[in-house]
Amino acid sequence: MACYIGIDVGTSGTKALVMSPVGKVLSTATSEHTVSTPRPGWSQQDPEQWWTATVKSVRKALQEAKTDANQVDGIGLSGQMHGLVLTNAAGKVLTPAIIWNDQRTSEQADEIERAVGGKRKLIRLVGNPAMTSYTLTKLLWVRRHLPRVYDKARHILLPKDYVRLRLTGEYFGDVSDMSGTLMLDQRKRKWSRKMLDLFEIDTDLLPPVVESHEVTGVLTKAAAARLGLNEGVKVVAGGGDQPVGAIGNGVVTDGMTSATMGTSGVVLTHSRTYKTDPEGRINTYCASVAGEYCMFGCVLSAGGSLQWFKNNLCGEEVSAAERERVDTYKLLDAQAAAEPPGCEGLFWLPYLTGERTPHADPLARACWIGIDARTTKARLLRSVMEGATFAMKDVVTLLADRGVKVRQIRLSGGGARSALWRQMQAEIYGTTCVMINTDEGPAYGAALLAATGAGRYETVRQACEAAIKVTKTIKPSGKAKRLYRRHYDLYRDLYPAVKGQFEGISELVG
């Protein structure tokens, strides 16, 4: 029986997943790596840690799946987007990788928009505005501040593509991941000649780009020995964690939408056609389905808001959960469920780490608005869950403004494990939500891409239709839906009302 491996190079760890030919998850394993912050706002990693974690995770997953090396027929890749890896001609890493959440490049982001002629023109060229997360800002920073490193560089790679190099010895990228570099012409699915010429980027530094299901090489003898696999196993292109996570959720047809409520929250929709937001509030990337696209927005502290509440205000509940040997979040769910929807006008703005969509405001602060003498800790708790969901609703609303017809939303992440939060999401989004038979995200999507590239399925869409099934449907209550609609209308007015104070707070702290 053939099987397939999906590898997801995340920020905090690398996950390996072994999948059967019919899409059943046989095992998963994750190995951690660390983030270095040598200066305030800096965030970087040693790519060697990604490779070491890949080896550990694949070996452990194979052992737990009781899979023979002869059965593995393909490997797919996914990974954190935007990170900059520079190597010399021999593939040696020249400097720590500057990863997606690094904030040192604000000057370069401004420089890019000025040079192009403004945000709207940049979006017309590459689909997205300049932000510190994107790869081109990091490349320009290295050229300015580390010129000797830049002069030695012969290859520019993204995180998962460095792992591919270690697996196959080949330099490749894919259109979905490269959509987050500010250097790809997404309409043509090729490097943007205009951007490369404008910023004097040598084309030879950039890898060839292909579609996510295409085979980009095979395991070398050395890599196979490290992983406990056979030489010659096909390695497909894979993609960025968001587009490949969409594959893992089966979001592969026009208008199909997912809402992933993790530490951060992502609402993503699939589109057969290329659409952008002229204001840059939501992102457009090439999808991991050949020739198609995805649009999404990110809430920085969605499930992270609830985690913050638990860690800082729920010592009693944590202790009780330890005594009763239950999950703390189960106890918190019960408390929140006893409170009324809307919390009698209590609102939580979930900007613990600033906000990305729709406000793009790094200075934004979290706050409660509407506390009165009747407010209890349980009501604060429920308001946190509602506020995070209202923030996700902001993204749903933006997608609708761009012409997306959201008829059903697939839920995943920690927020989908709570029956209360699932129902709350359906009522705040105002649409039917569903659960599916897997919650493995990008690693599962990477395995499906591997199966497609290896020939098990003819297309990525066929792979998803065969492997992914709806297991639960959550319909919104009409009464709660109407109540939350009124609350959401007020919620949308709160950020503009307090926005001007966030800059003052920042100056006070500074």
What percentage of the chain carries pLDDT values higher than 70? 100
Mean pLDDT lowest among 53-57, 209-213, 307-311, 437-441:
437-441
Nearest partner of 95 among 160, 40, 32, 141, judged by Cα? 141
The DSSP-derived string for 200-221 is T--GGGSPPEE-TTSEEEE--H
Per-residue pLDDT of 327-377, as tens digits, reads: 999 999 999 999 999 999 999 999 998 898 999 888 899 999 999 999 999
Predicted structure pTM score: 0.92
Question: What pLDDT is attached to residue 506?
Answer: 86
Assess whether pLDDT exceeds 90 at residue 83.
yes
CA 504, 398, 259, 282 torsion: positive or negative? Answer: negative
Catalytic residue among 8, 161, 185, 241: 241
241 as an active site residue: the answer is yes
CATH number for region 303-402+485-509: 3.30.420.40
Between 313 and 67, the more confident residue is 313
- Asked whether the predicted pLDDT for residue 263 surpasses 90, the reply is no
Nearest-angstrom CA–CA distance, 348 and 392: 13
Asked whether residue 103 carries a pLDDT value surpassing 90, the answer given is: no
Which is it for the CA torsion 397, 403, 406, 409, positive or negative? negative
3-state DSSP assignment of residue 468: coil
The answer to whether residues 74 and 5 touch, using CB atoms and an 8 Å cutoff, is yes
User: Could you report the per-residue pLDDT of 161-173, keeping only the tens digit for each?
Assistant: 999 999 999 999 9
Beta bridge partners of 71: none
Q: Domain residues of the chain, as ranges?
A: 3-237, 303-402+485-509
Residue 78's closest CA among 16, 25, 137? Answer: 16
Is residue 198 pLDDT above 90, yes or no? Answer: yes
145 touches 215 (CB < 8 A):
no
Domains 3-237 and 303-402+485-509 share a fold: yes
pLDDT at 1 over 80: no
The mean pLDDT value for 126-131 works out to 95
Dump pLDDT digits (tens) for 448-489.
Answer: 999 999 999 999 999 999 999 999 999 999 899 999 999 999
Look at residue 439 in the predicted model and tell me its pLDDT: 87
* Per-residue pLDDT, 201: 97
Options 3.40.50.300, 3.50.50.60, 3.40.50.2300, 3.30.420.40; which CATH number does 3-237 get? 3.30.420.40
Average pLDDT value for residue range 43-68 = 96
Say how far apart CA 12 and CA 356 lie, in whole Å.
Answer: 20
